[in-house]
Structure 1
Amino acid sequence: MYYTIGEAAKRMNLSTSALRYYDKEGLLPFVERTSGGIRMFQDEDFDWLEIIECLKKTGMPIKEIKEFVDWSMEGDSTIDQRLELIKEQQEVVRLQIEAIQENLKILNYKRWYYETAKQAGTCDVHKTMKPEDIPEEFREIALHNKKKNIVTMERPGKGNERESL
C-alpha cells in the first residue's frame, strides 16, 4: 500500500515539513517517487521513519543519522559501523537518563522541602531539623546543602531574607 506525504506524516505524528526536511537531508533514500515527483511511502518505510525518529529524539545529529541510513543502504558490509554507532548512542542515552534521574532526585527533595516548610509556615523549619528527621532519600542532598551553606537568591521585596536550598 502507498501513502502520500500527508498520510505518512499523520501516521507518524510528524509534520509534512519534517518529512520534507528529512528527504532534503538525505534521510529518506528508500522513499519512492511518482513520475511527477510525488513522494509515495510504503508500509516498510515506516520502520525506517521510526528508527530515524528514535535516533533524532535521543539527540543524534542529522549528519550521523544520515550516515546510519547510508550505511544501511550499503548492506551487510557496514554492519560493524552501524552497530558501533548504535552502541555509542545507547551510551549517550544512558548518560542522559542518569542526569535526568539526578535532577529528579533534586526536584523530589525540593518538593519535600517546600511541603515541609508550608506545613510549618516557614522555611526556617529546616535549620533546626536533625538528620534523622529528614527522609533517608533526601539526607545526602540536605547535608550537602548544609555543608556548602547553599542559599538561593534574595527574593525581590523581601529585604535580605534568604532560604537554604
Structure 2
Amino acid sequence: MTITEVSKQYDIPADTLRYYERIGLIPSVPRSKSGFRDYDEESCRWVQFAKCMRNAGIQVEALIEYVDLVQQGDVTRDARKQILLEQRDLLQAKIAEMQETLRFLDTKIDRYEQWNSEFEKNILKSSQ
C-alpha cells in the first residue's frame, strides 16, 4: 500500500506516518523499486499499533523503546512486557483522573439544571 492509502485507511496524516518511521515509532517501511514506501501487512500492523497506543496517550518515548526491543528479538520479551505494564498503570491512573473530572462536571451540570428549574418555577410564580 502507498503512504496515501495507509494515511486514509488509518486516518493518520502522511507526514505523521513519515515522522513515526523517522523517530522509530514504527519500524522502517519497505520501499518499492522506485524508492516509495510500500506498506505491507506487518507495516500496517505497526501503524495500527502506534495509532492505538498514541490515542490512549501512551508516551512516545516508551513506544520507541518498545519497538526497538521488538526488533532485538525474543530475548527482550520481559523488558517489553515491563514497558506495557508500566504504560498500562499510567493509563489506568489517567482514566481514574478523567472519571473524577467527569463526575465533577456532572455535578456542576446538575447544579445548573437545578438552578434553571428553580429559576423557571420562580418566573412562573411571579407571572401568575
Q: Tell me which residue corresponds to 1:68.
A: 66
Q: Tell me which residue corresponds to 1:85.
A: 83
Question: Does the Cα contact within 8 Å between 2:3 and 2:37 map onto a contact in 1?
Answer: yes
Question: Does the Cα contact within 8 Å between 1:32 and 1:39 map onto a contact in 2?
Answer: yes
TM-score, structure 2 as length reference: 0.86
CA deviation map 1:22-70 (0-9, x unaligned): 1111223241012332110012322211211222223233222111111
After the TM superposition, list the runs of 4 or more consecutive aligned residues in structure 1 that deviate by more than 4 angstroms.
none
Q: What amino acid sits opposite 2:15 in the alignment?
A: S
TM-score, structure 1 as length reference: 0.68
Unaligned stretches of 5+ in structure 1?
123-165
Structure number having the greater strand percentage: 1
Structure-1 separation of matches of 2:61 and 2:95: 23
Structure number having the greater helix percentage: 2
Q: Which has the higher contact order (CA 8 A, sep 6+)?
A: 2
Q: Tell me which residue corresponds to 2:125.
A: none
Q: Tell me which residue corresponds to 1:7.
A: 5
In percent, how many aligned pairs have the same letter? 31
Structure-2 separation of matches of 1:97 and 1:118: 31
Q: Tell me which residue corresponds to 2:54.
A: 56
How many residues align? The count is 120
Q: Tell me which residue corresponds to 1:104.
A: 102
* RMSD, aligned CA: 1.5
Unaligned stretches of 5+ in structure 2?
121-128
